[in-house]
Structure 1
Amino acid sequence: MQELVSVNSVISKPQDAKISVYDRGFLFGDAIYEVTRSYGKVFFMIEEHIARLRRSAESIQLDLGKTDQQIIEEMYALAKEGGEEDVYIRLQVSRGTCAFKQVSIKPQNTSSANYVMYLHKLKNWDSKYYEQGISLGICKTLRNSKDAMDPNIKSGNYLNNILGLLETDEDFDDCIMLTKEGMVAEGSTFNVFMVKDNVIYTQPDDFDILQGITRKILLELCETHNLQLEKRVFSVEELLKADEVFVSSSTKEVMPVIKIGKNSYQAGGGEISKRLAGLYKDYVKDYCAKAKKDHPIDF
């Protein structure tokens, strides 16, 4: 398929797409975003992604100017143009264009919100990351405190995470970020879980983490299938002594961790990691089957 971009509802090839150099997302990172993927022509948990986009917008006083349904329909329209069943869309919404073509950080006197949607064919992770696992370094760059910048605002400014990745040794696939107290926060783009003595641990919802949609599903699956779960803060020392570690995100799904720093874990994940990965796949399958039946909007 060809990659496509939609800028304020105008679909074009990436090289033909245009956005003002005075756009506040470009100038100041004054933007929010969501990433979603499809399975067999169904965007997974699309309503939840757009609801989170709206919460992010409300948190920064950004007027989306569109209903949730309008945004969803535009995403499906873009995907239909691409013609592939399994795709990835990154939707970014900036506050708009600076008025009078002036570079001013003040948010007043801007145009209406600018929408940019990027459509790509979904690139599946190499099977080795599920058969073996992902390797993670622990970066020195600290995760932004929620008191400074709420991580549940999916901001277009990702410099904090980028700095963490820049300092991570090339021998690792990604990084884990800590709080100033030395507690595990999250990865650059994923939530982190650990298992010790058959108990699954994740950070409290009000901690310095994004409450990921995949994470939310895993918490529901733990409750439904009587898997012991505890929400509490844990240190990097505890993480290194865990029996299993896995990460979650919309594109990674449930991915085992094989190495953190010099510490190694069971290849392919332990029993609990594997069980949750299977339960998650079943959840996706059931969701998509129901979505096709109840809401036959696809491409």
Structure 2
Amino acid sequence: MSDDRYYHVDSDLVPAGEATVSVDDRGFRYGDAAFETLRAYGGSIFAWDDHLERLERTCEALSLEHGLSAADLRSRIDETLAANDLADAYVRLSITRGVQPGKLTPHPDVDPTVVIYAKPLPRGGLESEPVWDGPATVQTAETRRVPDEAIPAAAKTHNYLNGVLARAELEGGADEALMCDLEGHVSEGATSNLWFVRDGELFTPTTDGPVLPGITREIVLEIARNDGLSVHEGQYELPDVLEADEAFLTNRTWELRPIATLDGHEIGGGPITVRLSRSYDECVEESCYQSDRP
């Protein structure tokens, strides 16, 4: 792979150093854009259909009728991976409302801006290496999660200022900020979903609150239920997490990452975290690497 990666910008593959969008693009001006963070394993996009469905839900929430087909989007992603000679990679797909200068009100006719870029990650699955250096150090943030009534929590948009402000509070090299909702219930990390284990049972904040329904979160829920674990989705307070036997975070890049400490309180992973991580790796292996392992 060359030193200069290639980005896919509006149907063209261009060197990363030459990839640009207009200063009048609404994604730049207002965060008026949808995006998905995906992971390629062995050249295959894991859970592509799930990502596509969430992307469309986001665009619907934004009233962004981009007119792009699933096949078109997937072709652009595959071209980006091929141009960068990548099989295992982080992939980001963004669709903005395009260039509509002059007013805040969106115009119904959309000529979208589509940007895709990829960067290498380690192999996943049963022979995987974590992308993280170690279990996460987490701190609670004073910044509250934006209520669903203000900005739909299920919409994955370019407007990430809420998470930026939470991460800006971190001290001492912490890895993630844990946010609460306006009522003080734990919600999610700036870029991750939260899980904890007590007495052999698994808990995660409900998406009925201001929680992004992560694709990895949904996969872990399915794995846990298939493995016979007792799973609870609800509203929880910070002490519920601090008193947990195990805790971990999920997102597409980290997959499952144990929480070493929360606000200096040691928690760590454990047998259920290890068990779910193994099952997740098996799912990736079967889906993307076409392994012959049972």
How does the TM-score come out when normalised to structure 2?
Answer: 0.92
Relative to structure 1, is the Cα distance of residues 109 and 285 closer, same or farther in structure 2, using a 3 angstrom cutoff? closer
SS of aligned partner of 2:68: coil
Is the Cα contact below 8 Å between 1:200 and 1:228 reproduced in 2? Answer: yes
Task: Quote how far apart the aligned CAs of 1:290 are.
Answer: 5.3
Relative to structure 1, is the Cα distance of residues 126 and 31 closer, same or farther in structure 2, using a 3 angstrom cutoff? closer
Task: Quote how far apart the aligned CAs of 1:18 are.
Answer: 2.5
Are residue 114 (structure 1) and residue 116 (structure 2) matched?
A: no
Are residue 25 (structure 1) and residue 27 (structure 2) matched?
A: yes
Is the Cα contact below 8 Å between 1:89 and 1:118 reproduced in 2? Answer: yes
1:146 to 145, 148, 155: 148
Aligned to 2:164: 162
Aligned to 1:188: 190
Q: 1:64 and 1:125 mapped to 2: Cα distance?
A: 35
Is the Cα contact below 8 Å between 1:3 and 1:121 reproduced in 2? Answer: no
Task: Quote how far apart the aligned CAs of 1:287 are.
Answer: 1.1
Is the Cα contact below 8 Å between 2:220 and 2:276 reproduced in 1? Answer: yes
Aligned to 1:297: none
Aligned to 1:282: 282
SS of aligned partner of 2:202: strand
Task: Quote how far apart the aligned CAs of 1:14 are.
Answer: 1.5
Aligned to 1:242: 244
| Runs of 5+ unmatched residues, structure 1 | 292-299
- More off after superposition, 198-207 vs 110-119: 110-119
Q: 2:7 and 2:172 mapped to 1: Cα distance?
A: 31
| Runs of 5+ unmatched residues, structure 2 | 123-128
Residue by residue, what CA displacement relative to the aligned partner does 1:248-290 show, whole Å, maximum 9, x if unpaired?
1111011100100120023xx1111111111110011111145
2:70 to 68, 72, 75: 68
Is the Cα contact below 8 Å between 1:146 and 1:207 reproduced in 2? Answer: yes
Is the Cα contact below 8 Å between 1:3 and 1:13 reproduced in 2? Answer: yes
Aligned to 2:11: 9
Q: 1:164 and 1:91 mapped to 2: Cα distance?
A: 24
Task: Quote how far apart the aligned CAs of 1:48 are.
Answer: 1.3
Is the Cα contact below 8 Å between 2:139 and 2:170 reproduced in 1? Answer: yes
Task: Quote how far apart the aligned CAs of 1:122 are.
Answer: 2.2
SS of aligned partner of 1:223: helix
Is the Cα contact below 8 Å between 1:258 and 1:264 reproduced in 2? Answer: yes
Aligned partner letter, 1:117: I
Is the Cα contact below 8 Å between 2:65 and 2:110 reproduced in 1? Answer: no
Relative to structure 1, is the Cα distance of residues 79 and 128 closer, same or farther in structure 2, using a 3 angstrom cutoff? closer
Residue by residue, what CA displacement relative to the aligned partner does 1:23-73 show, whole Å, maximum 9, x if unpaired?
000011111100111111111111211221111111111012111121111
Is the Cα contact below 8 Å between 2:131 and 2:254 reproduced in 1? Answer: no
Q: 1:170 and 1:240 mapped to 2: Cα distance?
A: 19
Alignment RMSD (CA, Å)? 1.6
Aligned to 2:104: 105
Q: 2:130 and 2:278 mapped to 1: Cα distance?
A: 16
State the 4+ residue runs in structure 1 displaced beyond 4 angstroms: 123-127
Relative to structure 1, is the Cα distance of residues 87 and 127 closer, same or farther in structure 2, using a 3 angstrom cutoff? closer
Q: 2:11 and 2:90 mapped to 1: Cα distance?
A: 17
Q: 2:171 and 2:19 mapped to 1: Cα distance?
A: 35
Q: 1:218 and 1:126 mapped to 2: Cα distance?
A: 18
Q: 2:279 and 2:208 mapped to 1: Cα distance?
A: 26
Aligned partner letter, 1:19: V
SS of aligned partner of 2:51: helix
Aligned partner letter, 1:41: G
Aligned to 1:270: 270
Identity %: 29
Is the Cα contact below 8 Å between 2:260 and 2:267 reproduced in 1? Answer: yes
Number of equivalences: 283
Aligned to 1:296: none
- More off after superposition, 240-249 vs 2-11: 2-11
Is the Cα contact below 8 Å between 2:64 and 2:110 reproduced in 1? Answer: no
